[in-house]
Amino acid sequence: MFMTHNQDEQLLGRPFSREQFWSRVELSRDDLWYYVCTTHKRIGGTGRRYYLFTEVADLVALIEDNSDFFWIQRVMVVTPPQINGTGCWSMYELKELVSVADSLNPNSIEYVYLLEEGLIYATGDKSIISDHKWHQVLFSEEHHAFPDDIDQ
């Protein structure tokens, strides 16, 4: 989860708007997070927005916002050393995110991350992931991401 501090708030934007701007955020735990690049249509062309998430549910909610006027270009997964085994934080392009479980019990859900260059990260034991009875694709680059070169 990201934390903010009041002293880091930047007074930008429109008066009386609900938007807040921060010069920095702090990651409160060593866990993976998502960097999502999006595009939206506006008068005179397109604009970009970038989102930082720590929860799968927030990524899924943004995917549901995809439309002819707002779409995801790319999702990156940022992993800490104890997850990626490299000794430092690393960023990978997410190709697919799948939730797996033995039942529809939300407490038994694990996630499988298919990353660029064929890398795979699983929150549970990789050796038994294929044994799970229930699989749901939450994000697929092929179905949910639309690079600039594709007409919207």
User: Could you tell me if residue 42 is inside a domain?
Assistant: yes
Where does the pLDDT of residue 117 fall: very low under 50, low under 70, confident under 90, or very high at 90 and above?
Answer: confident
Q: Does residue 150 carry a pLDDT above 50? A: no
**Domain of 82?**
32-144
- pLDDT tens track for 73-116: 999 999 999 888 889 999 999 999 998 887 666 667 889 999 99
11 part of a folded domain? no
* Residue, of 114 and 8, whose pLDDT is higher: 114
Question: How confident is the model over 69-78, as pLDDT tens digits?
Answer: 999 999 999 9
pTM, 2 dp? 0.81
Nearest to 11 by CA among 126, 19, 3: 19
| Res 128: pLDDT | 61
137 part of a folded domain: yes
| pLDDT of 127 higher than 70 | no
> Which pLDDT does position 4 carry in this prediction?
72
Q: How many domains does the chain have?
A: 1
Task: List, for residues 24-69, the tens digit of each pLDDT value.
Answer: 777 888 889 999 999 999 888 899 999 999 999 999 999 999 888 9
The verdict on residue 112 lying in a domain is yes
> Tell me, what's the pLDDT at 109?
83
User: Considering the domain boundaries, does residue 22 fall inside one?
Assistant: no
